């Protein structure tokens, strides 16, 4: 399965891409309910929503928070993945907000031991999935 991910600025391309390649999975980074709903209407197959928590990559920009993540997940029927400032300690909060999963960059790559960070995330995801 081929996947293409677009920034919010390129949202208008979703429909044409899906029309040209029906099997293509197209995701869109979003920062609001309105854009998430629009992405779904245009044929996006998933949403990347954030930044949910404070993150060094978005200094000075207020995070969206778990409540807004939950609102987006409720508004659309396609999977919503949380991104931004995610630590393994926040995995349960994200899943309780009905997100489909997490996307992590600095939570892994900024760590002294990236493999250990991934294992910690996996442990928390598994722990949550066992309780569902």
Q: Which residues are catalytic?
A: 51
Helical H segments across 9-111, by residue range: 13-20, 33-42, 66-75, 91-96, 106-109
Whole-Å CA distances, 109 to 15, 39, 113: 33, 29, 8
Locate 58 and state its tokens: 């978005």
Torsion angle defined by CA atoms of residues 11, 27, 3 and 85, in that order, rounded to the nearest 10 degrees: 130
Region for 79 from its dihedrals, namely left if φ exceeds 0, alpha if ψ lies in -120 to 50, beta otherwise: beta
């Amino acid at each position: 399965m081929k996947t293409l991910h677009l920034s919010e600025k390129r949202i208008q391309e979703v429909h044409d891409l899906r029309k040209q390649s029906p099997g293509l999975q197209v995701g869109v980074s979003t920062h609001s309910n309105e854009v998430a709903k629009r992405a779904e209407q245009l044929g996006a197959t998933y949403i990347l929503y954030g930044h949910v928590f404070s993150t060094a990559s978005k200094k000075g920009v207020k995070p969206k928070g778990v409540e807004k993540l939950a609102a987006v997940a409720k508004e659309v029927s396609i999977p919503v993945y949380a991104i931004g400032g995610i630590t393994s300690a926040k995995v349960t909060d994200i899943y309780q907000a009905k997100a489909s999963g997490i996307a992590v960059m600095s939570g892994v790559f900024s760590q002294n031991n990236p493999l250990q960070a991934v294992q910690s995330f996996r442990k928390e995801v598994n722990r949550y999935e066992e309780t569902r």
